[in-house]
Amino acid sequence: MSIEQHIAQSGELAWVKSSYSGTNGGDCVEVATAPGTVRVRDSKAQTGAALAFPREQWAAFTIYVCETAV
């Protein structure tokens, strides 16, 4: 069984962190996709709460951030 199959069967989320995140414990978020939503959590509080956004809202947010980044 591949890791993707295990995740799909167990209902676990596959959290990913930006490649721009360092290993020095800085301010980072992790993102995971679930059916119809994108989940976001603090990488330092992995057992804490996660925010859930509809995919369309997450896409609009990331486009806005990319377009307005300084």
20 in a structural domain: no
Report yes or no on 12 lying in a domain: no
Task: Give φ, ψ of 56 to 5 degrees.
Answer: -65, -40
Question: What SS3 state is found at 16?
Answer: strand
- Looking at the structure of the chain, the number of domains it has is 1
For residue 9, being part of any structural domain is answered with no
Closest CA to 18 of 28, 7, 27, 9: 28
58-to-3, 7, 10, 33 alpha-carbon distances in Å: 25, 22, 25, 11
* pLDDT of 67: 92
| Residue-level length of the chain | 70
pLDDT in tens, 49-58: 899 999 999 9
- The pTM (predicted TM-score) of the whole model is 0.69
41 lies in some domain: yes
**Domain of residue 45, residue span:** 26-70
Residues of the chain with pLDDT > 90, as a percent, come to 37
